[in-house]
Amino acid sequence: MKIQDKSYDDDYVLLHPLRRKIINLLQTDKEAYVKNIARQLEMNDKDRLVGFHLKVLEKHGFVTGRYAIENPTPVPTIVRYYSLTPKTNETLRNLAKNLQENTTS
């Protein structure tokens, strides 16, 4: 899946509601794969949409992924587990701080 090369800044990337839901879920679960995330967000038939947004988050350094083999017999399934990077919490803290400063000014 190719992601269009748009130079969004990090704040803009985090504004999308589905991406925020994914981040909130990963803050709780620590690690999950696309189908698991889609199921928990009650988007069972939207694996591709969830996968797309995970790729956007990964491109901007908010999540990282690792491949793992599930059910090694009889036919192995390769899945990609995603987890948050330290950059995510730092950026969210900065956003909250900026929001607070702008509302108190």
Place 105 in a pLDDT band, splitting at 50, 70 and 90.
Answer: low
Q: Is the peptide bond before 74 cis (omega within 30 degrees of 0)?
A: yes
Q: What percent of the chain has pLDDT over 90?
A: 56
CA angle 51, 17, 35 (to 5 degrees): 30
- The pLDDT assigned to 99 comes to 78
Q: CATH number of 10-104: 1.10.645.10, 3.20.20.70, 1.10.10.10, 2.60.120.260?
A: 1.10.10.10
What are the two backbone dihedrals, phi and then psi, of residue 81, each rounded to the nearest 5 degrees?
-90, 135
d(CA 44, CA 60): 25
Q: Does residue 38 carry a pLDDT above 90? A: yes
Place 9 in a pLDDT band, splitting at 50, 70 and 90.
Answer: confident
Mean pLDDT score across all residues of the chain: 87
pTM to 2 decimal places: 0.81
